Structure 1
Amino acid sequence: MSKVKAAIIGTGNIGTDLMIKLMRNSDLLELAAFVGIDPASDGLKRAEKLGVPVTAEGIDGLRQMPGYGDIAVVFDATSAKAHARHSELLTADGKRVVDLTPAAIGPYVVPTVNISTHLDAANVNMVTCGGQATIPIVAAVSRVAPVRYAEIVASISSRSAGPGTRANIDEFTETTSRAICEVGGAEEGKAIIILNPAEPPLVMRDTVYCLAQTDDAEAIRASVEDMVESVRAYVPGYRLKQEVQFERIGPNAAAGLPGGPAEGGLKVSVF
């Protein structure tokens, strides 16, 4: 079976990382174009060395490339602001768009939670890196108990955050917070991102807190562990650092949380 031709727009850390992973690991996609706006960018230079067709003329350059008509899927790893125009042009050309920015023009997609719902969408949004790591955990809790409030803290290496990521910090937190509710199933959600300057760079670490309305801690534990296995099937290395932790929260403590119920609840902490 022939591979589906794909293009990547955005030659920063995210786009370049995706290029390498796609070329090394994908049995389904063939990278047909790598698109940027800076001819001197490291990402474009690496793509050229790997023999990938490139353009430094952005979306307009991509649409003028000889092989554009054969491209079926376009990954956009630029910025939320730029994605609005990209999406309009690409969907008009009949391309399937995978949005790696916080623009969220299309529906939020977290594969283990809701990918089957949006298989026919012209544009899908992959939330954020922190969202992909944490929303499955929120969903794992919410599928066995009502979640009144969920909060995630994503700590990433400062070196891995390029100018595009830094320029979209506000959009990162807003998009992730919304997806915690819309995809994760929490009634209220909050997201925090930390750029860790430690050297050597640390791997991404995430923390999830949920306030659940249940006394069945074992059901939550089993659901979270099952979800971790599901995510690890496509994200090697994804794992719990500690056992799932539980704490009964009384009415006074719960009242200080957004959406905190008067009767309190079960605090679930996942690291």
Structure 2
Amino acid sequence: MSQDTVSVAIIGSGNIGTDLMIKIMRNSKTLKVGAMVGIDPKSDGLARAQRLGVATTADGVDGLIDMPGFKDIKIAFDATSAGAHAVHNQKLQAHGVRVIDLTPAAIGPYVIPVVNFEQHTAAPNINMVTCGGQATIPIVHAVSRVSPVHYAEIVASISSKSAGPGTRANIDEFTETTSKAILEVGGAAEGRAIIILNPAEPPLIMRDTVYCFVSDDADEKAISDSVEKMIQSVQEYVPGYRLKQQVQFEKITEENKQNIPGLGWATGLKVSVFLEVEGAGHYLPSYAGNLDIMTSAALTVAERIAVAGAKGV
């Protein structure tokens, strides 16, 4: 590990935090895990961190601040809950620690690495939206950079086995945060997000559907090309991110007009994009692509922050 690596802390020793720790230790050339923070001394995440030689505390953020190595921590990932994040952020900001928020708290700007990271390189707190947002908002943006998106709707279907207590406790925040980010980052005029916890056995990998309503004169080939380029961009940090089939188009005419939020009964072009996200299997099963895309996106943002800092940006 290079002496120039940036020391980071992971707050939350559950599935997301543990997967993130392993990703950093295996793959990152710019980051090192300086601390793993939890509140359950018996959690698997803290136990694994200890076995891997990572400093740990079961006393939460206060325990992190009291650790001898805290002065070296430059970035903290918060993988706890939206409610806890506000307190964590306040304490960390007081010490000048950059915070990457993997909860739906949305204190800082919404960031999707392939869409808008460059606009927020100096933000003290960066919000990673949600797993559904990371998977679908790139597609909404891909469509909107070709044609105005009057309405976008996303449906994220994840295995119930990959939805831990944090995810289940934040369902309302998930839909609200994702819906807002569809507008602010995706570029849609109106938007809605839906999450489905699928109890199927064996567990199914993450599936996402993106519907965009655009004007009927939109260029279908340009939209397809833009979506495919975006897929390739996301695959650079989430290799298991892929289209299930070609982008689908449906003309909405006077004969089959649809009631579109913000537009009323309207005609136009419906764009449907069907995705699946397979996880890398670092800590979690490959079907947990919803967690993998969050940790991969957060890792990508932290690495870009570290590189920008090294360049004095």
SS at match of 2:100: strand
Identical amino acids, percent of aligned pairs = 69
Cα offset for 1:201?
2.0
Q: Does 1:250 align with 2:253?
A: yes
Cα offset for 1:253?
5.2
Cα offset for 1:202?
1.8
2:204 counterpart letter in structure 1: L
TM-score (ref. length: structure 2): 0.84
- Structure 2 matches for 1:83-162, cutoff 5 A? 83-162=85-164
2:75 counterpart letter in structure 1: V
Aligned partners of 1:252 and 1:264 also within 8 Å: no
Q: Distance in 2 between matches of 1:140 and 1:129?
A: 18
Q: Which consecutive residues of structure 1, in runs of 5 or more, have no partner in the other structure? A: none
Cα offset for 1:121?
0.3
Aligned partners of 1:149 and 1:189 also within 8 Å: yes
Cα offset for 1:260?
2.8
SS at match of 1:210: strand
Q: Does 1:267 align with 2:284?
A: no
Could you list the runs of 4 or more consecutive aligned residues of structure 1 that deviate by over 2 angstroms after TM superposition? 250-255, 260-263
- Structure 2 matches for 1:1-271, cutoff 5 A? 1=2, 2-213=4-215, 214-251=217-254, 254-260=257-263, 263-271=266-274
Q: Which consecutive residues of structure 2, in runs of 5 or more, have no partner in the other structure? A: 275-313
Aligned residues: 271
Over the aligned positions, Cα root-mean-square deviation in angstroms equals: 1.3
SS at match of 1:18: helix
Q: Distance in 2 between matches of 1:253 and 1:203?
A: 33
Aligned partners of 2:259 and 2:266 also within 8 Å: no
Aligned partners of 2:64 and 2:70 also within 8 Å: yes
Distance 1:247 1:44, change over 3 A: same
SS at match of 2:241: coil
Q: Distance in 1 between matches of 2:251 and 2:198?
A: 31
Aligned partners of 2:259 and 2:265 also within 8 Å: no
SS at match of 1:180: helix
SS at match of 1:256: strand
Q: Distance in 2 between matches of 1:129 and 1:216?
A: 29
Distance 1:187 1:49, change over 3 A: same
Distance 1:259 1:42, change over 3 A: same
Cα offset for 1:255?
4.8
Q: Distance in 2 between matches of 1:243 and 1:8?
A: 38
- Per-residue CA distance 1:16-46 (angstroms, 9 max, x = gap): 1111111111111100100000111111111
Distance 1:171 1:253, change over 3 A: farther
1:58 counterpart letter in structure 2: G
